[in-house]
Amino acid sequence: MRLLLVEDEKRMAQALCEILHQEKYDVDHFADGLEGLLALETNTYDLAILDVMLPHKNGFQIAREARKKGVRTPILMLTAKSELDDKVTGLDCGADDYLTKPFMTRELLARLRALSRRNINTPDGALTFGDVSLSKETSLLRCGENSVRLSEKELRILEYLIANQGQILSREQLAVKIWGYNSDTEYNNVEVYMSFVRKKLSFVGAKTEIKAVRGIGYELREGHV
């Protein structure tokens, strides 16, 4: 689970990073509002935690601008008690939930779990698109009677494509999503893994296909019947 944390108070950020790592979240932290916005706009995070008062751009602006660009990552806002109208403004700007500082760790973790569940499109946690379904629990890709197991990266790639259906995802977005913001992954890797996923789609006889859009990126299509 990839999480973006934008928080400028050093001690708070350190404490949050530690807690989130313990809970197995893969955290990218930024202390600057503008850097936070650029990271969020990569649309590669499963969750985002935004502080309100930040240098260069506040949390509300970040949420509003990211939503305008079609970013659907669930956003949890951290607000100070004194900022009374923040709750309203925060929800208004496209944030999904808010938490008042100071807060209990378990309260934060409960909110994050609730937000991450919103991303899953069927009750049993299977993702569906066109004629295929994908189980995150078993890593099985199914089409009718056929199924095949995906590797961890193949699973994450297909999951990401399904979550962003109808959009073209760039190689950069895919590289950041699968290998992380600071990795030196060559974009070739994206192509290699994309071909693995395609082979598995054709192995199960799916009409669903990954279309390469020249010079832009990849898009999941239902294919021709």
Closer residue to Ca ion (CB): 108 or 204: 108
| Nearest-angstrom CA–CA distance, 75 and 85 | 18
What would the two tokens of residue 91 be? 């929800």
Gap between the Cα atoms of 15 and 36, Å rounded: 18
159 binds Ca ion (CB under 5 A): no
Q: Which residue is nearest to Ca ion (CB)?
A: 53
Here the tokens at position 19 are 């807690």
Separation CA 9–CA 112 (nearest Å): 20
Min CB(51)–Ca ion separation in Å: 4
The stretch among 50-58, 113-121, 170-178, 194-202 that binds Ca ion (CB under 5 A) is: 50-58
Q: Least separation, in Å, of the C-beta of 135 and Ca ion?
A: 40
Q: How many angstroms separate the CA atoms of 167 and 42, rounded?
A: 13
Q: Is residue 8 near Ca ion by the rule CB under 5 A?
A: yes
**What's the residue count for the chain?**
225
- Which residue number, 101 or 221, has a Cβ lying nearer to Ca ion? 101
| Residue 51 near Ca ion by CB under 5 A | yes
Among 1, 19, 53, 148, binds Ca ion (CB under 5 A): 53
Q: How far is the CB of 83 from Ca ion (least distance, A)?
A: 10
Specify the stretch interacting with Ca ion by CB under 5 A; choose among 5-13, 148-156, 196-204, 206-214. Answer: 5-13
Q: What minimum distance in Å lies between the beta carbon of 109 and Ca ion?
A: 21
> Which CB sits closer to Ca ion, 78 or 176?
78
Question: Residue 37 Cβ, how far from Ca ion at the closest point, in Å?
Answer: 15
Element (H, E) at 193: helix 187-203
Contacts of range 144-152, beta carbons closer than 8 Å, 24 or more positions apart:
144/204, 144/205, 146/203, 146/204, 146/205, 147/204, 148/200, 148/203, 148/204, 150/197, 150/200, 151/196
Q: Is 35 in the site for Ca ion (CB under 5 A)?
A: no
Which residues of this chain interact with Ca ion, rule CB under 5 A? 8, 51, 53
